[in-house]
Amino acid sequence: MRRLCGEGDGRTVEQTGEFLKTHWPAIRQGLLQGTYRPSPVRRVGIAKPGGGIRQLGIPTVVDRLIQQALLQVLQPLIAAIGCSKGSGAVTGGCG
């Protein structure tokens, strides 16, 4: 069975691993220099229960990996700022 890692780029889990082995240094450099640009998302229409279509954007696996890594690093920092300013809106509550 061909297990796709993500619909945005169509790579399998194995293919994504091989891609990152080769391309990660350039991706990392782009992130550190602020020049990295994510790939365009793939648009998919999902039917709404009441009729109509809701557009869903599916990022590539590499872009989703970067998003998740940034979230894990930044979320504790944002939570600390939100709590120190008395606002729990960012994290859903403080303490």
Mean pLDDT of the chain: 82
What is the pLDDT at residue 83?
A: 67
Q: Would you kindly state where each structural domain of the chain is located, as residue ranges?
A: 13-84
Q: What is the tens place of the pLDDT at every residue in 61-91?
A: 899 999 999 999 999 988 888 765 555 555 5
pLDDT of 14 over the 50 cut: yes
Phi-psi bin for 52: left (phi > 0), alpha (psi -120 to 50), beta?
left
Q: Quick one: pLDDT band at residue 1, thresholds 50, 70, 90?
A: very low
pTM score, whole prediction: 0.69
CA atoms within 13 A on the CB side of 81: 6
What is the pLDDT at residue 95?
A: 53
